[in-house]
Structure 1
Amino acid sequence: MTSLLKGVTFITGAGSGIGQCAAYALARHGVRQIALCDIRPDNLKTTSEQLKKQHPDVETLNIEMDTAKEDSVNSAVDQTVKHFGRLDIALNNAGIGGAGKQTADQELADWQRVMDVNVNGVWMCQRAQIRQMLKQEPLTAPPRGNRGVIVNTASMLGLVASTPISAAVAYTTSKHAVMGLTKTDAVAYAAQGIRINAICPGYVGTPLLQQATETGVMDGEIAKVPQGRLGEMEEIADSIVFLASPMSSFMTGSGLVVDGGFTAGCY
């Protein structure tokens, strides 16, 4: 079977959740060199061990990285390029939810932490990745080939407001910012052969959301999803593979919504 993907991949938030599932999916579709980045080194070990078990020929590089710190971000990208020689696919997935409050109840410290990770962190990662991609030639010829592909994890809440039940002003604002960053840099660097898109998941069965579901907190929100269920992390990972692959070669500056119809139904 012909591999859909090739080249060096860099993933933040790779120690769990969507980032971890994306690592497995990207490897399943051909990636053989992956830099796994997370603030939790023990989680990275789990991801890399599972990858090796599934795909013995995959080479991983585990990097402990704090997305909110400039030196840590730049070092992670530098380590990746030093080890593998280039950077072809980047998934900027690391993010936090914050306190989940409306503006009147929001503390500045929590707001700032969400922005540091979800906005500044994505921007710093993307800046370092673009700087590297501008230095390298495409692995395959244009128009399907390119200097590099970046996928940012936004959210359906980067497109619409959070509901009063799922109050999350900081998170929602941060994901709108990710969409603005994605579109602006996609336009700025399209002519140089760099594609940048965002994945916009809806309610997905991550460990944290599964826990909320078990308590019944999310019942009302899930009922608004036309498909009537949480998304699976593997479904988001498969969509990320599409954005990273030549199948989406004429897409840049887009947000791929994978939400079971939630935003289409306007809840």
Structure 2
Amino acid sequence: MAFALKGVAYVTGAGSGIGQYATYSLARQGVRSFALLDRNPVTQTVSELKKNYPGISIKEIELDVANEKAVNDSVEQTVKEFGRIDYALNNAGIGGALKTTDHIDKEDFERVLSVNTTGVWLCQRAQIRQMLKQEKLTDSYRSYRGSIVNTASMYGILGPSLNVPSTAYTTSKHAVVGLTRADAVAFGPRGIKINALCPGYVATPLVLSSMNKGSVMDDERVKVPIQRLATMEEIGDCVAFLHSEASSYVIGAAMVADGGFTIQ
């Protein structure tokens, strides 16, 4: 499916995983200007983009999303380079310890929230402030001043499995869904489209390395109705859809892509 995306994309957590493959999906759909942000190098992502899309423009920015000044500066740098931000993916996040409330330390709990929730809020706030200053890319009623997608999780809309006691992570992702809905109501009328993406289990390198038969992740895979994990490309394509005019009437959604896990 082609969405004919034009404009500038700002992607956090772009060095690997969902952020990396969302970047590839956006490029396949036509985006040619990227700000790629991560605490770690985005070398592989940049190399792949340049190999497949000659003439593409990329600005690499090292970013800790929990750092307010760094977030604001990153948006300013992006606008200075490209003039605007049309598609923002707030994807950077951490898993945290697999512990229930009675075992997790306050510092560990707050560290997860500082990245997964406050970090998303800081990025979204800076993006909204910029998008309010810019006009729509086209005159179409389906066009917006900007589109924001926040990576939540299926654990942003349900509790974790008993054998995956991810209390801090689940709390942080529920908050991302709430943030998305609150700001979608506030800024949809002002021309900014905001949605959340709630992936299920995704076949990232880290997950695949722990997929031995009888492992926790293998047990979780069996619970998925279609009996497999999502590919990173499939989740990346969901991001492209949410940024496209094909989803122009989708506002404040928590779009689930989980192979049917949450409907059981």
1:166-220: per-residue Cα shift (whole Å, max 9, x none)? 1100000000000000000000001110000011000000112112213622122
1:2 Cα deviation from its structure 2 partner: 7.2
Amino acid corresponding to residue 225 of structure 1 in structure 2? V
Q: Give the whole-Å Cα distance in 1 for the aligned partners of 2:188 and 2:235.
A: 25
> Where does residue 228 of structure 2 map in the other structure?
229
1:224 Cα deviation from its structure 2 partner: 0.7
Q: Which moved more, 1:45-54 or 1:166-175?
A: 45-54
Residue 142 to residue 187, structure 1, CA distance change in 2 (3 Å): farther
> Where does residue 241 of structure 1 map in the other structure?
240
Amino acid corresponding to residue 109 of structure 2 in structure 1? W
Amino acid corresponding to residue 251 of structure 1 in structure 2? V
> Where does residue 68 of structure 1 map in the other structure?
66
> Where does residue 31 of structure 2 map in the other structure?
31
1:190 aligns with 2:188: yes
SS class of match (2:144): coil
> Where does residue 103 of structure 1 map in the other structure?
101
Q: Give the whole-Å Cα distance in 1 for the aligned partners of 2:101 and 2:161.
A: 13
Q: Give the whole-Å Cα distance in 2 for the aligned partners of 1:202 and 1:3.
A: 24
1:128-143 alignment, distance < 5 Å = 128-143=126-141
SS class of match (1:174): helix
1:51-62 alignment, distance < 5 Å = 51-62=49-60
Q: 2:91 is matched with which residue: 74, 90, 93?
A: 93
1:21 aligns with 2:21: yes
8 A Cα contact 2:3 2:241, kept in partner: no
Amino acid corresponding to residue 11 of structure 1 in structure 2? V
Q: CA RMSD in A?
A: 1.2
> Where does residue 204 of structure 2 map in the other structure?
206
Aligned pair count reads: 263
1:19 Cα deviation from its structure 2 partner: 0.2
1:86-108: per-residue Cα shift (whole Å, max 9, x none)? 01000000000001111111111
Amino acid corresponding to residue 234 of structure 1 in structure 2? E
Q: Which moved more, 1:136-145 or 1:167-176?
A: 136-145
1:168 aligns with 2:166: yes
1:24 Cα deviation from its structure 2 partner: 0.7
> Where does residue 180 of structure 1 map in the other structure?
178
8 A Cα contact 2:235 2:257, kept in partner: yes
Q: Give the whole-Å Cα distance in 1 for the aligned partners of 2:8 and 2:37.
A: 14
Q: Give the whole-Å Cα distance in 2 for the aligned partners of 1:204 and 1:45.
A: 22
SS class of match (1:205): coil
Structure 1 stretches of 5 or more lacking a match?
A: none
Q: Give the whole-Å Cα distance in 1 for the aligned partners of 2:3 and 2:205.
A: 30
Structure 2 stretches of 5 or more lacking a match?
A: none
1:99-136: per-residue Cα shift (whole Å, max 9, x none)? 11111111111111100000000000000000000000
Q: Give the whole-Å Cα distance in 1 for the aligned partners of 2:216 and 2:248.
A: 40
Question: How high is the TM-score relative to the length of structure 1?
Answer: 0.96
> Where does residue 120 of structure 1 map in the other structure?
118
> Where does residue 144 of structure 1 map in the other structure?
142
1:57 Cα deviation from its structure 2 partner: 2.3
> Where does residue 11 of structure 1 map in the other structure?
11
Amino acid corresponding to residue 101 of structure 1 in structure 2? K
Q: Give the whole-Å Cα distance in 1 for the aligned partners of 2:44 and 2:220.
A: 32
Could you tell me the percent identity over the aligned residues? 56
Q: Give the whole-Å Cα distance in 1 for the aligned partners of 2:162 and 2:66.
A: 28
Q: Give the whole-Å Cα distance in 2 for the aligned partners of 1:172 and 1:58.
A: 37
